[in-house]
Amino acid sequence: MNIEVLISEEKLQERIQEIASEIEKDYQGEDVVFCSVLKGAIFFTVDLMKKYKGDALIDFIRVSSYEGENSTGKITLKIPLQKEHIEGKNIILVEDIVDTGRTFNYLVDYVKDLNPKSVKTCVLLDKKARRIEHFEADYVGFSIDDLFVIGYGLDYDEKYRNLPYVGYVKKN
């Protein structure tokens, strides 16, 4: 595949540092739980947590909503959260990308049902042009054009997650 770099490793890390500092300011000494949406958000979550200086916990949730390049629109919960890890806590849902908005809306509703103290959303990449459901994340890394992106956690049929940058497939 002919892969073009869209966001370099350096730009990703710079922006993630800014987001970590923004979150630190917003929570001012309160514990937060970074709730990473598997599998795509793990690289982002780990880098964000390493840069975050406050007290933070990590948890994971897994949903599936996407096959190949086309969203099926149907969301299935594959790995749930445990209520005792969420109840009364400040939750920050961390996602790799928001596209139609369906996954994030589903996740926010799901987390709210577990009685957290608060819920915020943090996404590395925002593809606004493809939104079907209204959704605005509290923290956004980069707004991107309508491209199918891979790397830094994002896959194409489970491959390419290990690229240290965000790229896209150049069609000839």
Q: Which amino acid is located at 148 in the chain?
A: F
User: Which tokens in the block code for residue 7?
Assistant: 């966001």
Cβ distance to ligand 5GP smaller for residue 15 or 62 = 62
User: Could you tell me the smallest distance in angstroms from the CB atom of residue 98 to ligand 5GP?
Assistant: 5
User: Which tokens in the block code for residue 131?
Assistant: 């939104």
Size, binding site for ligand 5GP by CB under 6 A? 18
Nearest to 73 by CA among 26, 25, 105: 105
CA torsion 167→71→127→27, rounded to 10°?
-100
Buried b or exposed e, range 137-147, using 16+ CB within 10 angstroms: bebbbeebeeb
Cβ distance to ligand 5GP smaller for residue 1 or 115 = 1
47 is an interface residue for ligand 5GP by CB under 6 A: no
Nearest to 116 by CA among 93, 140, 139: 93
98 is an interface residue for ligand 5GP by CB under 6 A: yes
Q: Which amino acid is located at 80 in the chain?
A: P
User: Could you tell me the smallest distance in angstroms from the CB atom of residue 147 to ligand 5GP?
Assistant: 6
Choose, from 26, 47, 59, 99, the residue flagged as catalytic: 99
Residues 152-171 that bind ligand 5GP (CB under 6 A): 154-155
**Catalytic annotation on 113?**
no
Nearest to 153 by CA among 97, 106, 80: 97
| Contact with ligand 5GP (CB under 6 A) among 7, 97, 114, 119 | 97
149 is an interface residue for ligand 5GP by CB under 6 A: yes
Provide the binding-site residues for ligand 5GP, judged by CB under 6 A: 40, 65-66, 71, 95-103, 148-150, 154-155
